[in-house]
């Protein structure tokens, strides 16, 4: 396993090439590009522009391993409105293409959202059908759709997520497992063992359960994640990809935030 950093750890206005350079200087081995309608990397990026970013990363010697996007919140794949679902699918399709251009092999996908207007059973039916619709393109591009566990009131157990992935009947659909996100609803080491070979990528975060809200997210090794158990489970599952830290920059020092992430990841990997 290797140390990775998510682009959201850098200022939104910082160009991807500059973020890659700084990540390499700090000592990270891998990098996750973040795309959206306004950035940090635009969904409208061209293949030529993406190829320039990829070449820069290759020259530096840092691997771009995945693409993350929050567009699934804006245009849920679970939405009752078919037009909204189609916009969501279009965003995933473009993210898959961008990942291919960048040399990454997985895209983070928020699978759906349960709301007062989107009951759980409707969300499940719509989200599953939407992801299944995307499978042919993922297989053609050989980029995995990574279903992430987020605070969306949806896919609330590892068994349900496992079954959701299996119903897509493709190696190009798997789990983008976020360790810190799971603390309020379970134990990450249990999720890892149940999801097993289905895990495509990992987001590394930590969380203090008693806080119970977004303020509970803390730096790696400062929360309630049982990191020795998590690492044992990841090794049992045969996971060899990066541990990608997903944190925002500190208010007064970007470099210190990045160094804290890297030092913590290195300590976790040594467990």
Residue showing tokens 């996750």:
32
Residue showing tokens 């949806």:
154
CA 202 to the chain's CA centroid: 7
Q: What is the predicted pLDDT for the residue at 46?
A: 95
Q: What is the predicted pLDDT for the residue at 39?
A: 72
- Would you call the peptide bond into 40 cis, given omega within 30 degrees of 0 as the criterion? yes
The whole-angstrom separation of Cα 271 and Cα 263 is: 13
- Please compute the mean of the pLDDT values over residues 223-233 and round it to a whole number: 98
What does the block give as tokens for 94? 């473009």
The whole-angstrom separation of Cα 92 and Cα 77 is: 10
The whole-angstrom separation of Cα 27 and Cα 190 is: 31
Flag whether pLDDT at 2 surpasses 80. yes
R_g of the chain, CA atoms, integer Å: 17
Residue 56 banded pLDDT, cuts 50, 70, 90: very high
What does the block give as tokens for 229? 């158990």
Q: Which of 5-9, 191-195, 210-214, 257-261 has the lowest mean pLDDT?
A: 210-214
The whole-angstrom separation of Cα 63 and Cα 179 is: 22
Contact 33, 71 (CB under 8 A): no
């Amino acid at each position: 396993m290797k140390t990775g950093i998510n682009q959201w750890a850098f200022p939104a206005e910082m160009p991807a090439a500059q973020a890659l350079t700084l990540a390499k200087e700090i000592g990270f081995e891998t990098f996750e590009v973040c795309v959206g309608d306004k950035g940090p990397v635009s969904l409208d990026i061209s293949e030529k522009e993406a190829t320039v970013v990829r070449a820069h990363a290759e020259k530096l010697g840092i691997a771009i391993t995945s693409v993350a996007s929050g567009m699934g919140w804006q245009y849920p794949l679970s939405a009752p409105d078919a037009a909204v679902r189609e916009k969501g699918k279009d965003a995933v399709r473009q993210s898959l293409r961008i990942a291919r251009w960048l040399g990454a092999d997985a895209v983070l996908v928020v699978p759906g959202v349960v709301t007062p207007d989107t009951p759980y059973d409707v969300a499940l039916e719509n989200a599953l059908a939407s992801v299944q619709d995307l499978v042919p393109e993922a297989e053609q591009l050989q980029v995995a759709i990574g279903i992430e566990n987020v605070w969306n009131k949806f896919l609330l157990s590892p068994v349900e997520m496992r079954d959701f992935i299996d119903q897509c009947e493709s190696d190009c659909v798997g789990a983008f497992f976020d360790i810190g996100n799971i603390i309020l609803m379970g134990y990450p080491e249990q999720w890892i063992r149940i999801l097993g070979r289905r895990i495509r990528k990992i987001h590394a975060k930590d969380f203090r359960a008693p806080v119970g809200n977004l303020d509970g997210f803390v730096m790696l090794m400062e929360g309630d994640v049982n990191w020795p158990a998590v690492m044992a489970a990841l090794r049992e599952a045969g996971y060899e990809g990066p541990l990608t830290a997903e944190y925002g920059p500190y208010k007064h020092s970007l470099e210190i935030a990045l160094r804290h992430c890297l030092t913590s990841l290195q300590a976790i990997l040594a467990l």
